[in-house]
Amino acid sequence: MPESVANLETDGRKILETRSIDYIPDSERHGSLFSQFTLWLSANLQVTAIIIARFTSSAALPA
């Protein structure tokens, strides 16, 4: 990746990910625990909704 593209910044943060899956130092981390929780919760609620919908629709069918 060209150096000029990797160093584009808006409000002090880099636009493109340059570390891949490497360790990220504390000085470069941003966000909060709550933002991680909402991401985790929304992903898990989606799976739960699909499972509940499947069970409720199969329970309503006549035997």
- Asked if residue 43 lies in contact with residue 50, where contact means CB atoms within 8 angstroms, the answer is no
Q: Reply yes or no on whether the pLDDT at 7 is more than 70.
A: no
Amino acid at 1: M
Which pLDDT does position 39 carry in this prediction? 85
Which pLDDT does position 48 carry in this prediction? 82
DSSP of the chain: --HHHHT-EETTEESS--STTS---GGG--S-HHHHHHHHHHHHHHHHHHHHHHHHHHHSS--
Model confidence pLDDT, tens digit, residues 11-60: 666 667 777 888 888 888 878 888 889 888 888 888 888 888 888 877 66
Which pLDDT does position 21 carry in this prediction? 85
Which pLDDT does position 13 carry in this prediction? 64
